[in-house]
Amino acid sequence: MQLLKDRIRKDGVIKDGNVLKVDSFLNHQMDIALINEMGKEFRRRFPDESINKILTIEASGIGIACLTAQYFNCPVVFAKKTQSINIDGEVYSTQIKSFTHGRTYDVIVKKAFLSPEDNILIIDDFLANWLCAARAYRHRKARRRKDSRSRYRHREGRQKGGELVRSQGIRVESLAIIDEMDPVKGCKFRDDD
């Protein structure tokens, strides 16, 4: 999506350790007009009327999911980090290792809000986040090698992430895929000329 890539080039900040900061427009301060355009683009890519629910995870995914849901006329369910005393009943749960926070979260979704009949669109700000759970065990192994962490993240988070999810029969759409990034040279997007 050209609008998003242009904005990442203009306002994204690349830090050492392969960290792309988009907090001025996407995940701390949020440009609502931009994210609305992203929502329309998701709808264009998923014109299927049968999508009846959008699933995301707190916190950065919620705003994108809510604005996008307007174009699908469906509710949003967001997975919650850590068990709240305010949730009862049965829950789906897993653990996610966050690179940006350096800790492991318990993540839960109330079973009542997801059913086998649902046709779900999953939305998040970075694909790498969704990979953390699936890769937790391999990650622990990789960390035994010196400086393995950032390479692991770079390679699997940005280059193999889509493949991993697709291998499970799930369609993946990314509005901007970064193949390489460098604090001096900037971002190289996958479909760049």
Of the residues 80, 135, 153, 158, which one makes contact with a copy of itself according to CB under 8 A: 80
For residue 161, CA distances in Å to 70, 130, 157 come to 27, 9, 5
26 is a contact residue toward a copy of itself (CB under 8 A): no
Q: What does the alpha-carbon distance between residue 185 and residue 54 come to, in Å, rounded to a whole number?
A: 36
DSSP assignments along 150-191, one per residue? HHHIIIIIIISHHHHHHTTT-----S--EEEEETTTEEEETT
- Please report whether residue 36 would count as binding a copy of itself according to CB under 8 A: yes
Using only C-alpha atoms, the chain has a radius of gyration, in whole angstroms, of 17
Residues 132/148, Cβ–Cβ less than 8 Å = no
| Residue 149 touching a copy of itself (CB under 8 A) | no
Q: Provide the minimum distance between the beta carbon of 164 and a copy of itself in the complex, in angstroms, as a whole number.
A: 23
Check binding of 6 to a copy of itself (CB under 8 A): no
Mode of pairing for the β-strands spanning 13-15 and 19-21? antiparallel
Of 28, 140, 166, 171, the one binding a copy of itself by CB under 8 A: 28
Taking the complex as a whole, the smallest distance from the CB of residue 141 to a copy of itself amounts, in Å, to: 22
Q: Is 66 in the site for a copy of itself (CB under 8 A)?
A: yes
Q: Interface with a copy of itself by CB under 8 A: which residues? A: 15, 19, 21, 23-25, 28-33, 35-36, 58-59, 62-63, 65-67, 69-70, 73-78, 80-82, 84-88, 100-102, 109-110, 112-113
